[in-house]
Structure formats: C-alpha cells, structure tokens
Chains A and B, each alone.
Chain A
C-alpha cells in the first residue's frame, strides 16, 4: 500500500511540475536531462591505464582492524593544521582481507611517515602494488545473498531450527527478514490463568510438532489471543491464516541449498490460494523429473545450460541425451536434476502426474516452468509443469481410473444434482458447456450411484439415445 501511495505522490509531483511549463520548456528539460546522462556514462569509466605510475599504492603488513584506518585519517586531519601535513592520499580497508591495509601515496617515505607512530600498524612489509593490480585490489565481489519474498529458507537456530520457512519480506535496513513458518506451539501446556506449577517448569527439552495455529485449542489451554488487523497475536507472535509470521536476523537463516521437499511445501500451501502457482515459482529440486526415452529436454543448470537434446536412455539418476547442436554429436550424460523437459507448441502429450493425470492434449504454450495444454477430452486449457508431461501419441480414452464410470455416463453427483460426465481425467468429472454448468465435481470414490432414470439431458437421454427435447423436471433438478 505504501508503494501505491508513493506512486500516486510521484505522479502528482510530476504533474504539478509540468503544468507550469510550456511545451518548449518541457522539451528542453528532457533534452538536457538525457544529454547529461549520456555524457556521464562516458565519463564514468576512466581507465587506469592513464595513470602512468605517479601514484603508488602500498600494502602494509600486518595491521589489525579498521580503527587503524581511522587512526590514520584522524592523524592526517590533525597534522593538517601543522607545518607538515601527512602526504598520504587515502587508506583503504578491504573487508575480509585481514592483516592488511592499503595506503595510497606518491612516495614510500610518505607512507612510512604516516604510520610511524601507530603502534598497531607495523611497517614490516611495505609492498608497492603494481599498477595493473591496482584496480583489482579495489574490486569487491558481490556476495550478499539476494533474498526475495517467496524464496524458501531454513532456520539455523531456535526451536524452528531446520524448519522450512518462506520469506515474507526483506528488511535490508534492519538486516532482518520476515518469515512465514509453521508454528510449533505446545498445546498441552497450559497458559495464563490455567498455568500450573508443572507447566511453568517446562523446559525446551522437547519441541512441539509443526502445525497450523489453532485458535480454539489455544483458548482451551487458557491462552490469550488478540487481533491486530489481519493478524492474531498470541504470546507476542503474529499469526495469520494459521502461519506464524516472525522477523529473524539475516544471519540466522540459510538460503543456499535449501531444497524443500514436496510434503513440506504442501503443508505450507495448505491455506494459500494457488498451490500450483507457488510450486511453479520454486523449482522443486527434491523430487526429480521422470524422463523417458524420446523426450526432448533442455539443460537447466551448469555450463551447458539451454542446450537442447533428445533423451536416449535413462539410467536411474543419469540421463543420456543426444544434443541438438551442430558441433556436438556425442552422447552427453547428465543428472536428471539438471535437465528440464522441453516442449514446443503443437506437441501431443500426456500428463503423467498431478491433478490432471491421464489426460492428453496438445501443447498450446510453453513457459519456463509451466506448459499450457489443450485437452483432448474436455477441450479446456490445462496448466501444468513440464515434468508432469510426456510426449505421447495416444489420445486418452476417457475411462475413469475407478473403472466405474465412463465418458458420457449420467451420474448423480449428490442428492440434488445430476451431471453429465463429459470428461474423465483423474477425478475430474465436468459438465460440459451446455446452457448451465452444473459444475465439476471431484470424484471421491463414493460418488453416488449411476442413475438410469427418466431424466434427459441435452445430448443424450438415459438410454444413450439422442434426445428430442428435454424433460422439464430434469431441468428443475439440475438448476441448483
């Protein structure tokens, strides 16, 4: 919401500014702005080659920590007032490079003079840095992890150690990150008024299992719960939709090498809206894709990334592919983890896992972690992950896995509704798009009986004959 406000304010500011200017002035303003920007880019990178060697940079060994840098600086400033100002130009401390400071000066004697009386800095080893290396000595490799909201991390400490958590938002300014976790509340321990002696002495010897925050249970054990907007507060912690949202310092979490297992992820997404969407965002490395010979794959990691090829054989974890590249014509072996199935629009495929298992269709669109398939049966668009999809020539026949119901069977979904089973995918009985949709109901096994009654539908009546009209009573029953 803050962003919206900020955006709105920005718009207002801008509008106000332009209101007063005429068209020419605006044009001039823009020209000036972009002209300056262009020029600045050129000036930015002055190359070091121009410096022929007037400046020498010296490294000193050994020194202790940053205070030395400041001691030098203060000394310089102090000396400035006197007759002999310190001749050094700058002092640099590189993080991680312990025991060494760089001092920049024209002459070595200046350096010596500057560090003369500083105890911690010893001029054991004043080494001049060659010009070519001067730039490198200033280079800092970016090593700060880029945590984004939505990424999965694990906690290093506390009772949530090793638990999977999802980043809610990152607060760089405070070096903290808000995480969403499964609460671990001990529901057997009494809180507040009902607390007994035994409970108070309870140590953290055993940590409670992770489960969603359950307000009734908390009340049962006497805990006090308050509401703060969207959040429920209990014992100082914020809960929302069953999850715990808490801030942790950045150094208390692990973000590298975190491979969420499918079960962990499922628990996480229980109350959130779209499981599939979140799954697509995180690449689940825990469970590997099943490849089959004949699949077109693309390398997802490593040096060969984006190389396409065809699977020849699959040998457990190792997949042998023939790359699709003019320069390479040898079989390459890769781990299943590093590969990603590749499809192009127009491929005919079968879905081998997930909600739509068993369904076949044509690929309409492919994206990094998602393919859109136009189903043969339902004529609907289905989205799924490439790993759940396999090239296949067959067209699904539409027989339900339970074996009981078939395509076009008239079944009773529950007491009131009847539906025309127009598609059999894995558990998906959809009514097709006649005038009203009864809706699709998942098969649960105990579905209801097949009704061979006097009810007619649009296409077929109960005896599978094309119908001439429709039954009024049926119509009423179906409109729900």
Chain B
C-alpha cells in the first residue's frame, strides 16, 4: 500500500488478531487495519483496537509482493495488502467480536496462529 503501513518504530507494536498485520497502536487507531477495517472498525476506537490486536507475536514477515510469494500464501496473506505481518500471534478476539465476525460471514478461526510441531 504505502509507506504508512509500515510501523514507524519498534516499540509498542501490535499485530491484528485477524490478519496478523503489524503496526503500532497509534497507527491502528489512526488508520485502522488495512485488511480488516471493513469489519473490524478499529479506526478511532482505542479500546477496540486494544481488544483486537495483540502485542504478543513472534517473528515478522515483510511482505512486498504477497500475491506472488509462497511465504505469504502459506500464511494466508496472499490476498492482503503489503506490509509487515507476524509469523505467529498470541491472543484471541473477545468472544463478542468473534461472534460479530462470524455473523458477517468472515472467516476467523480463533487460533494461536502458531504452527506448532
């Protein structure tokens, strides 16, 4: 997308629990999650952002060309915007929001998103 998608610095980073995009908390609140804004509505809502993103994540993937990348396909981000994604996130969406997503037909599996052995 743009240079805006990349986190500005290293501290206070959070990963979106739905798509694992990484941005700083402030960026999430300012712009929402590039991939999930349509149904997550994080923009402007500080508390919701905290609920739907997690500071606990492992590893990072800088996806320059998600369409063409095997890595991105493996992590299911090949249809998503360019940016930095987490390899694995910890934390789950609050049940209420998970239910909202389900009702909207969005595929969200409550997962730790780690590929454990």
Residues of A within 8 A of B (CB): 6, 9-10, 13-14, 17, 32-33, 36-37, 40, 44, 46, 48, 51, 55, 57, 66-67, 69-70, 72-74, 76-77, 86, 88-95, 102, 104, 134-135, 138-142, 144, 172-173, 175
Contacts and interface: CB of A to CB of B under 8 A. Distances in A.
A76 B64 contact: yes
Nearest to A80: B64
B109 to A, nearest CB: 8
Contacts of A17: 103
A90 B61 contact: yes
Interface in B68-111: 68-76, 82, 84, 87-88, 90-91, 94-96, 99-100, 102-103, 105, 107
B114 interface: yes
B65 A90 contact: yes
Contacts of B112: 142
B3 A74 contact: yes
5 contacts: A72-B62, A77-B82, A93-B60, A93-B62, A172-B56
B117 A141 contact: yes
Contact of B60 (A40, A69, A89, A139): A69
Contact of B87 (A48, A88, A138): A138
Given A104-B71, A175-B55, 17 more contacts: A9-B96, A10-B96, A36-B107, A57-B70, A66-B10, A69-B62, A77-B3, A88-B65, A90-B61, A90-B66, A95-B58, A102-B71, A104-B70, A139-B117, A142-B116, A144-B90, A172-B54
B103 A86 contact: no
Given A46-B73, A142-B112, A90 B58 contact: no
B64 A40 contact: no
Contact of A92 (B3, B62, B65): B62
A173 B68 contact: no
Interface size class of B (residues with CB under 8 A): 35 or more
Given A89-B65, A89-B69, A172-B56, A70 B87 contact: no
Contact of A70 (B62, B66, B68, B88): B62
A176 to B, nearest CB: 11
B114 A92 contact: no
Contacts of A51: 70
Nearest to A37: B107
B61 A91 contact: yes
A46 B74 contact: yes
Contact of A69 (B70, B72, B74, B84): B84
Contact of A73 (B76, B84, B94): B84
A10 B99 contact: yes
B50 interface: yes
A94 B60 CA distance: 6
B55 to A, nearest CB: 6
Nearest to A134: B70
Nearest to B2: A77
A144 B56 contact: yes
B88 A140 contact: yes
B63 interface: yes
Given A104-B70, A140-B115, A142-B114, A86 B64 contact: yes
B59 A67 contact: no
B36 interface: no
Interface string B44-57: 00000011001110
A92 B102 contact: no
B40 interface: no
Contact of A138 (B62, B65, B68, B115): B115
A94 B87 contact: yes
A139 B115 contact: yes
A69 B62 CA distance: 6
Contact of A141 (B7, B74, B99, B116): B116
Contacts of A55: 69-70
Contact of B114 (A70, A91, A140): A140
Contact of B74 (A14, A67, A135, A172): A135
